[in-house]
A and B are shown apart, each in its own frame.
Chain A
Amino acid sequence: MTDAALRSGAPLDGSKLAVLTARFEGIARKMANTLHRTGRSGILTIARDFSCVVLTAQHELLATAESLPNHVLRGPEIMTRAMTDNHPVLKRGDAFLHNSPYHGCTHPADHSILVPVIDDNGRHRFTVLAKAHQADCGNSLPTTYMGAATDVYAEGALIFPAVKVQTDYQHVMDVIRMCRMRIRVPEQWWGDYLATLGAARVGEREIMALGREIGWDRLDAYARQWFDYSESRMVDVIRALPAGRVTRSSTHDAFPGTPAEGVTITATVEVKPEEALIEVDMRDNPDCLPNGLNLSEACALSTPMIGIFNSIDHTVPKNEGSFRRIRIHLRDGCVVGRPRHPTSCSVATTNIADRVANAVQAAIADLADGLGQAETGALIPPSCGVVSGVHDGKPFVNEVYLGCTGGAGTPWTDGWLTILHVGNAGMCYQDSIEVDELRHPLFVRTRRLIPDSEGAGRFRGALGAYSEFSPVGCAMTVAYVSDGNLNAATGARGGHAGAPSAQYRRRADGTLEPVPACAEVVIGPDEAMVSISGGGGGYGRPEEREPERVAHDVREGWIAAGRAEAVYRVALTAEGRVDPAATARLRAATAA
């Protein structure tokens, strides 16, 4: 397809749509590649905790490349609206810093740069957004996950509700200086800021070139048609679903600031094929809590969508068009809703958020076989905690990824082992033990999967992970917020729950001492931190699992032979092969 054909007034056919889609997705990917290769902190360059998207000037999500689901599905459109509301006159060269959970950002640790793309006539055409989780955001404690913060004041982060940080491509140094006075390791923050800004500027430059090549009105027409195509794909998918209304709940363990029984999150999912609509009602939930677990509006909107999109044909594009067929009902002042300032949303992207996505996908599973997913294991165990201390007079601090698994059983596959948590979808990386031991005074005694910890099912959940690590020649603080000690990931459609998470201190004498789920624990040089992450829930009854898969799991040591027989009702021969006749008898007895 040629420029001339693209510029012509006719509606775009399926081939022109495909080419422009590849180009917009390419722009979002180029932004992401730029951020990944220029970022400074480990959380960006190792864990890859960032996202890059393109929106229209009408605040519609257009292209996301391979972003983290809970970063981008919803919220970016609220953030761009905050930008245009607060700055009615946008000029080329402007850039805005945004991390306000009260104005569409996920949580204050996710510093985002918004750049409006302004055409040669001064008209705002698109907005590019680059969002990056910071190693530090100026909280009152050296962690970006302030689970016990009673409000945003106790949290302590600087909040930027779409604040201008560049005019005419020049930094507004007042804002930069404020950040440098508040954020720990300011050089690292500055490096990450430049990388994020650079990614947004790359996106701006590419869209400017595309607009000049194709024509801005033509790009607008493309966006309309792409949304219509995406909506039509979503309509087809929903029309094929069974009608129904299901309420599911998922309970977060008790933490400081929660009721003693924990926080039960309830989601009501209604599928209306005749209207080609899915509605999720999140209003029947507790009011905001006096801690950092509350969801921002962005997370309250995105996480039910994660549950929905995890449950249907993955080829439906995720953008404003397909979103037209989803309605999320929220209320003000709710833990899963629209939080009022100064409610803290410090941990908005993981703990309660995962309970929302899990409840929604498990509810969809209740509608019919072949839909939805089981629950994914919970975060944040000590193996993904922030370790810090002083060694040889030099301070060290870093978030580690030493083994966290938890993928949920699905209608198609066993749980993806390294999913990390449902909102992340496995996009982040796991640490190399050698690299961690080289960078920090750390010794990793063990990292292994835990046999029999999977949620059994037709498609089983991922096994949980065991890790044990010690400081070398100093004491070490490990900060974490580990949900799932009491409320493990549940199964769906007869699938079983995964094993719960747990955490211990291994004392010098080798004995294990339980430690709290939400804590900063100091581990001595002759002690070890023991972290157990939860297994994922299973999908479908274990007796429906293909016997060959069960035999494979036994052979690999993932499950014991006794469990194969007792739970999966599969009999194996002495050589470990499936005994079809005995298996049939076992399964017939179960069915009876």
Chain B
Amino acid sequence: MGLRFAVDTGGTFTDLMVASEDGRLAMFKASTTPADPVAGLIDSLALAAAAAGEPLASYLARGDVLVHGTTHAINAIVTGNTARTAFLTTEGHPDTLVFREGGRIEPFNFTVPYPEPYVPRALTFEVPERIMADGRVRTPLDEAAVVAILERVRAAGAEAIAVCLLWSVVNPAHETAVGALIERHLPGIPYTLSHRINPSIREYRRASSTAIDASLKPVMGAYMRGLESRLREAGFKGRVLVVTSQGGVMDAASVAEAPVHLINSGPSMAPVAAKAYAGGTAEETLIVGDSGGTTFDVSLVRRGRIPRSREIWLGQPFRSAMTGMPSVDVKSIGAGGGSIAWVDAGGLLHVGPISAGARPGPACYGRGGTRPTLTDAAVTLGFIDAGFFLGGKMTLDEPAAVEAIRRDVADPLGLSVDAAAEAIVALATEHMVQAIMDITVNQGIDPAEATFVAGGGAAGLNCVAIARRLGCRRVVVTEAGAALSASGALISDLTAHHQAMFHTLSGRFDRDGVNRTLADLEAACDAFAAGPGAGASAVEIHWSSEARYADQAWEIEVPLARARFETEADLAALIDDFHRMHQDIFAVSDPGAEIEAVGWNAEVRCRIGTGQPGRLAATDRPARLPARAVRFLGTEARAEVEVWRLESIREGVVIAGPAIIESDFTSIVLDPGARAHRDGSGNLVIAL
């Protein structure tokens, strides 16, 4: 086995993890290059080649696999660089993308405009046809009208087509026919059919998935081709895989055919990594906080399973479009190292959601930023060593940080600079805590019973403070936690998610119909395993049903123990599991009530790597660094404290806070009273 690379392109940094032939890991960080993200990706590989003392080409030639997490899809949407897309919908329902599902935030804020539909109304076309809820055709498809519509689509200069007809998930005949007409009359134009990309009920979500997917096909196709060819030019001969929103990976070429899977490409890997590296016992629940330069992403591992959600938004909830795709449930808030602190006219402190980002960046970066940020507060308090940021690759301007905090926060609040910096960290911590509480309440998880896994370059600054507020007793910073998502990508499985709609009630369970649906899903999984998954060391199919109580509105995803319903016991098991899961998430269940199953999922996972987390290469650098004066949260003065080098701390050594533990990539603040040690996997485990 050769080298394995995982590259996660974030908003500020591009993280690279390399697993060598002997299973050792190495971590590198390069600056993200937003105009040409592949350049930053190759920069990070060049850093690794240099560290190995090899020319890039021969180093890359040793590579077997490169796994890429990318924000390119979401960036293309945000910057308007998607294809001009036409939307074909059932006659009488042209405004599905305009209405969305209603809902709003900030009831008194009328300064934010209603979002434009994902596809303009001018490029929306009504198709004469109608299928009913039971699949019956009420109005046959008017093919001649479709041909005329396609002529208008062509004349409008559309570069992609999205087709979403009502009830296509029950009877796809009309969508399939429209697809055939597109191929005949507009050959070569990329198009997406809703029942193929997202076969689930609720027309807005399905239409939105379809429109986003179609609009991304040209740009992501070009990106994936560019990525592969530039890697080949640089000398890489292995397989190029890309991280999906579902927490798996797909071949770059096939994901270009379904690019809606890339919307949450990076963040979805954080819980995968947490589960693999910090997993602990199967009964354990992990709260994963991934803190970078611009956002704080929260996700969960609940008893070994990563919860999924379809309510993933392109921007702010209710002010943007929903992707509607089943994705790893990640909640993102605008709180990162770049979050700006300011005091309003009434004297109230705010931190974020405005961010200085990578450019102009925090005041201490010296790149033109003048407003104080969370990173500036961390430098001021001594959490971060201004002379040893990123292992000394970047020198920070500490006086600039102090001055920005004095001017914008300390003076307006009448506080000392240290107290103001402390207040900034405390308020940012509270925002992160509230984001975690939102997602844990919605999943029915008690944070006090969970372990907090902190990842990302900025996580160490307040992971102990966050865990204390949540009532967690244990914090884990994985050995490669500063590049948490990349470390997850390194061990992730080749994955495909297949879903189908089939509606049935527990009291009149249509066993044959469900089994037919499951057989179709299994065939699709087998085809994937035999194709892209060929040669996998292990293949697993994870089955689940989307079900609800008969009078409810929203489904929950319940794992199935078996691939078919053969006996009454199989149905009884689903019913029992549904009640238990409902009790788990919602704290109530209704054991006598009938259950309604709406959708069926099969996720096929093909193991391509070892699936085993590796260890960073050992270092012989001394474990102790010079002590420095640090102001901790909740203390009135600075204290001279021990500073440890993370990767050099030996197993068995216990470090008592107050102390700072730092690496080339992060700085971990060990508050007074906390105790830390490294476990056998290299994780830093902090007991509170």
Residues of A within 8 A of B (CB): 1-5, 13-19, 21-23, 25-26, 29-30, 33-34, 37-38, 40, 42, 45-46, 48, 66-69, 188, 191, 194-195, 198, 229, 232-233, 236, 309-310, 314-315, 318, 373, 401, 403, 407, 410, 412-420, 425-430, 432-435, 437-438, 443-449, 462, 468, 472, 555-558
Contact = CB atoms under 8 A, between A and B. Distances in A.
Contacts of B420: 15
A107 B430 CA distance: 37
B276 interface: no
A232 B133 contact: no
B226 interface: no
B93 A556 contact: no
Nearest to B351: A18
Contacts of B503: 438
A447 B91 CA distance: 10
A401 B102 contact: yes
Contacts of A191: 588, 590
A22 B420 CA distance: 18
B633 A18 contact: no
B347 A229 contact: yes
Interface string B382-423: 000000000000000000000000000000111100001011
A384 to B, nearest CB: 11
Interface in B74-128: 92-95, 98-114, 120-122
Contacts of B166: 433-434
In order of increasing CB-CB distance, the 6 nearest A-B pairs are A2-B634, A15-B423, A425-B107, A430-B102, A426-B104, A446-B92
Contacts of A437: 132-133, 167
Contacts of A428: 102-103
Contacts of B617: none
B107 A69 contact: yes
B121 to A, nearest CB: 4
A173 to B, nearest CB: 19
A433 B203 contact: yes
A18 B349 contact: yes
Contact of B113 (A66, A413, A427): A413
A309 B349 CA distance: 23
Contact of A13 (B132, B413, B588): B413
B203 A434 contact: yes
Given A13-B414, A45-B553, A448-B93, A443 B588 contact: no
B438 interface: yes
A410 B112 CA distance: 11
Nearest to A26: B434
B101 A445 contact: no
Nearest to B409: A15
B414 to A, nearest CB: 7
B442 A403 contact: no
Interface string B339-366: 0000111111110000000000000000
A483 to B, nearest CB: 20
Contacts, number: 209
Contacts of A415: 114
A432 B634 contact: no
With a 10 A CB-CB cut-off, give which of B102, B553, B554, B590 has the most chain A CB atoms. B102
Contact of B93 (A5, A15, A67, A447): A447
A51 to B, nearest CB: 11
Given A30-B441, A33-B438, A66 B103 contact: no
13 contacts: A4-B634, A13-B423, A14-B412, A22-B434, A37-B585, A40-B551, A48-B103, A66-B107, A414-B113, A425-B108, A437-B133, A446-B92, A558-B121
B437 interface: yes
B104 A555 contact: no
Given A2-B634, A14-B348, A417-B98, A68 B93 contact: no
B111 A314 contact: yes
Given A66-B106, A557-B121, A14 B95 contact: no
A413 B110 contact: yes
A25 B431 CA distance: 11
B656 interface: no
A432 B204 contact: yes
B587 interface: yes
Given A38-B588, A407-B114, A413-B113, A5 B634 contact: yes
Contact of B437 (A18, A26, A443): A26
B350 A66 contact: no
B335 to A, nearest CB: 12
B106 A37 contact: no
Contacts of A425: 104, 107-108
Nearest to A1: B426
B202 interface: yes
B201 interface: yes
A435 B167 CA distance: 10
A1 B427 CA distance: 8
Nearest to B107: A425
A472 B105 CA distance: 36
A417 B108 CA distance: 15
Contacts of B103: 48, 418, 426-429
Given A17-B348, A40-B551, A432-B203, A22 B104 contact: no
B281 interface: no
Contacts of A26: 433-434, 437
B552 interface: yes
Contacts of A444: 92
A448 B94 contact: yes
Nearest to B633: A2
Nearest to A237: B345
B553 A46 contact: yes
A229 B133 contact: no
B427 A412 contact: no
Given A18-B348, A18-B350, A432 B633 contact: no
With a 10 A CB-CB cut-off, give which of A34, A42, A66, A417 has the most chain B CB atoms. A417
B99 A417 contact: yes
With a 10 A CB-CB cut-off, give which of B133, B412, B423 has the most chain A CB atoms. B133
Contacts of B98: 417, 449
A26 B138 CA distance: 49
A579 to B, nearest CB: 19
Given A412-B111, A418-B104, A229 B348 contact: yes
A443 B503 CA distance: 18
A412 B431 contact: no
B107 A434 contact: no
Nearest to A430: B102
A429 B105 CA distance: 12
Contacts of A19: 426-427, 430
B308 to A, nearest CB: 16
A3 B120 CA distance: 52
Interface in B569-600: 585-588, 590
B586 A449 contact: no
B108 A310 contact: yes
Contacts of B414: 13
A22 B350 CA distance: 11
Nearest to A418: B102
B434 A3 contact: no
B586 A416 contact: no
Contacts of B138: 443
Given A188-B551, A236-B345, A412 B423 contact: no
Interface string B509-529: 000000000000000000000
Nearest to B425: A1
Contacts of B105: 66
Given A14-B347, A435-B553, A447-B92, A309 B108 contact: yes
A555 B108 contact: no
With a 10 A CB-CB cut-off, give which of B104, B203, B585, B635 has the most chain A CB atoms. B104
Contacts of A446: 92-93
Contact of B202 (A22, A434, A555): A434
Contact of B95 (A15, A29, A413, A448): A448
A257 to B, nearest CB: 31
A22 B349 CA distance: 11
